[in-house]
Chains A and B, each alone.
Chain A
Amino acid sequence: MNISRRDFNKLIVSGIAGSALGVFGGIGNAYAAKNRVVVIGGGFGGATAAKYLKKLDPSLSVTLVEPKAAYITCPFSNWVLGGLKTMEEITQTYGNLSSRYGVKVMADTAVSIDTARSTVTLKGGAVLNYDRLIVSPGIDFKWDAIQGYSQEVAEATMPHAFQAGPQTVLLNRQLQMMKDGGTVLICPPANPFRCPPGPYERASIIAYYLKEHKPKSKILILDAKDKFSKQALFQKGWERLYPGMIEWRGAAKGGKVQAVDSAAMTVTTELEVLKGDVVNIIPPQKAGRIAFDSGLSDASGWCPVNPVSFESTLRPGVHVIGDACVAGPMPKSGFAASSQGKVAAAAIVRLLRGKQPVSPSLVNTCYSLLAPGYGISVAGVYKISAEGIVEVPNSGGLTPIDAGDDQLMQEAMYARGWYNNIVKDIWG
C-alpha cells in the first residue's frame, strides 16, 4: 500500500497517536500536566516498565501497584528443585525502585479499572488517576480445563508450581519426601503458555536431583502437545545425562491429561489411568484476572495490543505487557515481558510529550539448565512489520545441536549471569 505524505501525517494523528487525542486535543500545553502513569503488577514486565519510565523521565509520577512485598521469580525456580538455588536467592523486592528511582510502590491489589474515568480502584479503597496505565498481570489458570483439578488441589496435593512461591516449596517438599523408585508426572499444557521451555527444564533438574538421591525413580512427561521448545536439545541432553530416566509422551501418543483424581494421585489420559508419587499439573492459562475483568482480553483469553506501544486495541490509554498480551511469535517469558516493559515505557514517555513512538525492536533470551554444567539457550529478535510483531529472518535461534561441552558449560555459566543481570536491571 502506497500512502502520500499528507495521508501519512493524517494516519499518525488518527492512528498511532490516536489514543493520545487527549494529548493532541487542541488545548495548547495540555500535555504538560499529563505525567501520571500507574503500573499494575510488579513482575518482570511491570517492574521493568516502572523503573524505565523513571529512568527516561524522572519528572513522571509513577505508581506501581503490587500486593506482594517480595516477588519470587519463576525463572530459576526450577533450580530450587535441584538444590541449586534457595528461595531467598530468587526473591526480589521493591525497595530500590522507590529509593533509587522514585517509583511510588503501593502494596495493594488493583480490583477494577474504569477506562472512561481513567481510574484504578484498589482493594484497600484508594482510587488512582492515570494519564497512561500499564497492566502487567501475568497469568491466571483455566481451573476447569482438567476435570478434578482446582486451586485447592494445586495447593494441597498436585502443585502447578508455575507461579513461584509456596507452589515451588510444595513441589520441592514432595520430591524430597518421595521414595526411591517413585514416579514423577509432569503434565504441561498446549500452547500458548508461560515459559515454553519451563516444564522440560523442570524435568531435567528433577532428574539431576533424582539421579543423585533416588536413582531408581522415573519422570514421565504427559504432554498436551506434539512438540515442545528446544525439544531436540533437551532430548539429546536427557539421553546423555539421564539415560532411561525421562520419558516424554506427546498428545499423539495419548499424552494429554483430561482428568485427575487427587485422592488416588492418578491422572487420566485418552488411553489410560496413570499413578504418580509426585504429580505436577501445569494447567492451560489465560491473562491475569484484572486484564480479564477489565475487558482487555479477547476470545483467546489473552490481550491484543498495538505492537509499537503495547497499547490495548480494546481499551485506549491502557497498555498490556508480559504474559497477558498477544505479542506475535514472542514467547511468554520473563525476558520478553521485560523487553516489552521497556518498549511500552519508551512509547508512553513519547506519547505523554505529544510525540509518536519509534518503531521498536524486541528481544527474548532464555537459558535452560539441564545440569549444573550443561546449559542451552534460545534467542529471538523481533521487529514490527505490516503483520505485527515478527521474528527478524535469519536471526536468533537455538544453541547448535552439535555444541561442544565447553559451549554447553559456557551457556550454563551465562544462565547464572543472565539471572544476576536481569533481576538487577529490573529490581536493582
Chain B
Amino acid sequence: MPSKMQIILTACVVLSGTLPASMEAVAAGTRAAKRSKAADVDPRGQVLAFSCAGCHGTDGKSVGIIPGFYGKSPEYLEAALKDFKSGARFSSIMGRHAKGYSDEEIHQIAEYFGTVWTKNK
C-alpha cells in the first residue's frame, strides 16, 4: 500500500513527464512568436532557470567575474549549454551542471531567459 507521500510524488512525476512532450511540439519557427508574449512564461522553464541566478546573477546579470548571459539569445544559450553538457566546450563547472538536465529542459531554460530580456527591450 503506497504511502500518501509516494502517491504525491508519483502524481508529480507523471505530471512532469507530460511537459517535455508538449515542449517538443514547439518548432523552432514558432519560437519568436511564442517569445513575444511575455506573459506566456513556461512555469517549469522558469523554476529551472531560477537556479542559474545563484552563480550568474539575477536574470543572468553578473556583477563579478562569473560570466553573465543577460541579453544572449535562447539559441545561443541552448547551444552553449548543450556544448557544456557534451564536453565539446571546456568548463570548470558548467559541464557538471549541464549534465543534470535533459535536452528538453535545456531548451526550456534557454527559452525562459529569452522571455526575460525580450520583455525588457
With A379-B93, A385-B13, A396-B97 already in contact, the answer to whether A306 and B8 are too (CB < 8 A) is yes
Contact residues of B between 87 and 121, Cβ < 8 Å to A:
92-93, 96-97, 99-101, 105
Taking CB atoms, residues of chain A closer than 8 Å to B55 are 365, 414, 417-418, 421-422
The reply to whether B100 and A342 form a contact with Cβ atoms under 8 Å apart is no
Taking CB atoms, residues of chain A closer than 8 Å to B33 are none
Could you say which of A168-176, A210-218, A236-244, A386-394 contacts chain B?
Answer: A386-394
The reply to whether A420 and B63 form a contact with Cβ atoms under 8 Å apart is yes
Taking CB atoms, residues of chain B closer than 8 Å to A410 are 92
Q: Does A12 contact B (CB under 8 A)?
A: yes
Q: Does B51 contact A (CB under 8 A)?
A: yes
With A363-B97, A377-B93 already in contact, the answer to whether A12 and B11 are too (CB < 8 A) is yes
The reply to whether A416 and B65 form a contact with Cβ atoms under 8 Å apart is yes
The reply to whether A421 and B62 form a contact with Cβ atoms under 8 Å apart is yes
The reply to whether B50 and A395 form a contact with Cβ atoms under 8 Å apart is no
The reply to whether B99 and A417 form a contact with Cβ atoms under 8 Å apart is no
Shortest CB-to-CB span from A426 to chain B, Å, is 9
Interface class of chain B by DSSP: helix
Q: Does A368 contact B (CB under 8 A)?
A: no
Q: How many of chain A's residues touch chain B, expressed as a range?
A: 35 or more
Query: How far, in angstroms, from A418 to B57 measured CA to CA in the complex?
Result: 9
Taking CB atoms, residues of chain A closer than 8 Å to B96 are 379, 395-397
Of chain A, the residue at the smallest CB distance from B68 is A421
- Chain B interfacial residues counted at CB < 8 A: 41
Contact with B along A400-420 (1 / 0, CB 8 A): 000100010011011011111
The reply to whether A388 and B9 form a contact with Cβ atoms under 8 Å apart is yes
Shortest CB-to-CB span from B109 to chain A, Å, is 9
Query: How far, in angstroms, from A283 to B44 measured CA to CA in the complex?
Result: 39
Shortest CB-to-CB span from A1 to chain B, Å, is 6
Shortest CB-to-CB span from A328 to chain B, Å, is 11
Q: Does A182 contact B (CB under 8 A)?
A: no
The reply to whether B11 and A365 form a contact with Cβ atoms under 8 Å apart is no
The reply to whether A1 and B15 form a contact with Cβ atoms under 8 Å apart is no
Query: How far, in angstroms, from A362 to B50 measured CA to CA in the complex?
Result: 9
Query: How far, in angstroms, from A416 to B92 measured CA to CA in the complex?
Result: 15
Contact with A along B31-66 (1 / 0, CB 8 A): 000000000000110111011011111100011111
Shortest CB-to-CB span from B4 to chain A, Å, is 7
Contact residues of B between 4 and 28, Cβ < 8 Å to A:
4-16, 19
Q: Does B29 contact A (CB under 8 A)?
A: no
Q: Does A310 contact B (CB under 8 A)?
A: no
Taking CB atoms, residues of chain A closer than 8 Å to B51 are 339, 342, 361-363, 381
Interface pairs (24), CB distance under 8 Å:
A12-B11, A12-B15, A16-B11, A307-B9, A338-B54, A346-B43, A356-B15, A358-B16, A360-B48, A361-B47, A361-B100, A362-B51, A363-B100, A365-B93, A384-B9, A387-B9, A392-B99, A414-B65, A416-B65, A417-B55, A420-B63, A421-B54, A424-B58, A425-B58
Besides A1-B2, A359-B13, A363-B100, 7 new A-B residue pairs in contact (Cβ under 8 A), listed by A number: A11-B8, A16-B8, A16-B11, A308-B12, A346-B47, A377-B93, A381-B97
Task: List residues of chain A with CB under 8 Å of any chain B CB.
Answer: 1, 3, 8, 11-12, 15-16, 18, 52, 306-308, 313, 335, 338-339, 342-343, 346, 350, 356-363, 365, 377, 379-388, 392, 394-397, 399, 403, 407, 410-411, 413-414, 416-422, 424-425, 428
Q: What 6 pairs between A and B have smallest CB-CB spacing?
A: A381-B100, A359-B16, A420-B64, A395-B100, A417-B64, A417-B66
